[in-house]
Amino acid sequence: MKKTHFLVSMLALAFFSSCRSGDENDNENLRDQEVHAKTVNVTNHDGRPFSTGNGSAVGKFVSGPGGGVLMQGFYWDVPEGGNWWTTVKDKLTAWSDSGISAVWLPPASKAQNGAYSMGYDPTDYYDFGNFNQNGSVETRFGSRTELEALITKAHAENMQVYADIVINHNSGGQSQANPFTGTNTWTDFSGIASGKFQRSYNDFYKNSYGNNDEGAFGGFPDLCHANPYVQDWLWGRDDSVGKYYKNVMKFDGWRFDYVKGFGPWVVNSWNSNVGGFSVGELWDSNVNTLEWWANNANSSVFDFAAYYKMDEAFDNGNLNVLNDDMMWKRNPYKAVTFVANHDTDIINNKMPAYAYILTHEGYPTIFYRDYEEWLNKERLNNLIWIHNNKATGTTSILYTDNDEYIARRNGYNGNPGLVVYINNSSSWQERWVETNWSSQQIKDFTGNSGWYPTTQGDKWVKIQAPPNSYSIWSLNQ
């Protein structure tokens, strides 16, 4: 949910507003598939080659031992005009080649602000740009036909597609007399064009079920999940929102918006009845709260604890905070890590942050604008390749101070793992570290270092990292 870019006007009805479920078997399956079929060499800024999956002749994502990477396939206020679905579809082959395993799309259904809405003010969950309502046929992103073509293309590339689901609140209803408030409320959704999931005042708080649930948002009518009618339409019926999105539209999973607004049992019920990957946007840096929610929702959760620690570490020169607790340390199978998203973008020193999430446990997310516009795409592709092919096993932190951070992935099922060295200082740094490997040659897979050291019999070796950058070491094979 975008927290700062909307206005609510009940008189004008102009609202500018602004889902890895659950079980660990799904995550293990990602890690047990084949290694990406082809590697090419690309040079870094110093001219030395590094490894990347970009350019695969296969043209489809194939998961390596480290699993896959999620692309957030939008940003706030993507261009209007109904072309976004086609824009994303045209990038899917390149994303797949680079090792991206899934794409998260913005809310796909018609919202109150029609062709201008980012979708976080939903009106008709079954209008994907195929009904003339709220001032347009298409959504901001395009038509239903174009959305279906995107999903079909993603599946042809062996990528999954996750829908952004906004079920805390609705917008765009007509005014009706409400006996529970003694006023008129904008809660009459009986005239929606699809005719599915019609709603009235008793489907929103306050109503016969009570005055409120965990939280309302922005003055929007607050959907009442305690109402069996609402439950049935969201996840129970064969043509419920969840089942329609999964079985008809062919979405593979869900990013649940603003889950602070309703109990975790809602997402748990959705996941139990519908299935698929899920991740919740619980905007909270308290790792205990994140873990509590993920366990009770039977869902992954965005690792806001790691997000704020990375900001302190990489922007404020305090890498020691990476020793602190984070969701990925509590349960990596339920932690989705990220460096930026459409709502929040506070980390300035982003490449070390991406090096961190793409070498550590959890399910890493790449932000569209970082990948396509703002950062070095080849360096990101290199990190994606390293993640997919080398980032396996548990994590051991080997060294930290204000400027340096070194951690080891301990390897899994024959994969050797890696050592990542992040250096926030203005000069080259060197450290002796204990690796997974005895008497074997290693190299820096980023190409930032030209060293090819051989580990000692006791597995210790000296490695280096360039100023304000990172190196990532593994067996030279």
Distances (CA, A) of 295 to 6, 36, 142, 290, 300: 32, 32, 36, 9, 8
Q: Per the CATH hierarchy, to which homologous superfamily does domain 393-477 belong?
A: Golgi alpha-mannosidase II (2.60.40.1180)
Q: What residue spans in the chain does CATH classification 2.60.40.1180 cover?
A: 393-477
Residue 79: Cβ-neighbour burial (10 angstroms; 0-12, 13-18, 19+):
exposed
Q: What residue spans in the chain does CATH classification 3.20.20.80 cover?
A: 24-391
Residue 59 — pLDDT band, cuts 50, 70, 90? Answer: low
**How is residue 36 annotated by DSSP?**
P
**CATH number of 24-391, picked from 1.10.760.10, 1.20.1600.10, 3.40.1280.10, 3.20.20.80:** 3.20.20.80
CB 370 within 8 A of CB 383: no
pLDDT in tens, 392-451: 999 999 999 999 999 999 999 999 999 999 999 999 999 999 999 999 999 999 999 999
Question: Mean pLDDT, to the nearest integer, of 368-392?
Answer: 98
Q: In 157-240, where does DSSP find H-type helix?
A: 228-231
Chain centroid to Cα 73, Å, comes to 9
Tell me how far apart the alpha carbons of residues 308 and 284 are, in angstroms, rounded to a whole number.
Answer: 10
pTM for this model (two decimals): 0.90
pLDDT in tens, 222-250: 999 999 999 999 999 999 999 999 999 99
CB 269 within 8 A of CB 235: yes
Tell me how far apart the alpha carbons of residues 10 and 386 are, in angstroms, rounded to a whole number.
Answer: 50
**95 in the Ramachandran plot: left (φ > 0), alpha (ψ -120 to 50) or beta?**
alpha
| pLDDT of amino acid 65 | 95
Q: Is 87 helix (H, G, I), strand (E, B) or coil?
A: helix
Q: Is 254 helix (H, G, I), strand (E, B) or coil?
A: strand
Distances (CA, A) of 117 to 6, 109, 150, 256, 354: 10, 10, 20, 18, 30
Percent with pLDDT over 70 in the chain: 88
| pLDDT of amino acid 63 | 87
CB 292 within 8 A of CB 323: no
pLDDT in tens, 134-151: 999 999 999 999 999 999
